[in-house]
Amino acid sequence: MAAHAQVRLASFSAAAYATLGIAGILYPLAHSGNFRVLRHALSQPPVWLAIVIAALVAWGLARRQAWAWWLGVIAASYQLAMLLFAYVRGPAFGHLPRPWTLIAMVLLALVLVLLLPRRARLACSR
C-alpha cells in the first residue's frame, strides 16, 4: 500500500473514531428520550477532548501535516492504552468487550498500525 493511501486511511479511521464518540453521546438520548442523559454526556470534558483531538488528527492527516502524524500516534496510543486499562480493571475482564468499545479499540489500533511505518511518517511532510 502506498504511504499516501495509508495516511488517508488513517485519517478516515480517526474521523470514524470521532464519529463514534459523537454517536456515543447521542445514542443514549435516542433510546431514553431523557435530556438528563444528554446533559450528563455533554458534561464530560474527556469525551469532548477525545472527539476534538480525533477530528483534528483526521483533518491534519488528510492534509498530510507532520504535526498530525505526531498527534495521531500519541493520542491513539494514549486512548488505546486507557481503553485497555479500563477493560482489564473492569468487571467485564475475561469476556468480549461491548461492541462499541471493541470498534473503538479496532479503529485506534488501525490508526497506529497505519501511521507507525516510517514511510507513513515521511508522507506527512507539510
Number of domains composing the chain: 1
Q: What is the pLDDT of residue 38?
A: 73
Q: What is the pLDDT of residue 70?
A: 96
pTM for the structure as a whole: 0.88
Domain boundaries, position 107:
3-123
Q: What is the pLDDT of residue 102?
A: 92
* More confident: 100 or 75: 75
Angle at 99 between CA 96 and CA 101, to 5 degrees: 85
Answer whether 58's CB lies under 8 Å from 110's CB: no
Q: What is the pLDDT of residue 33?
A: 74
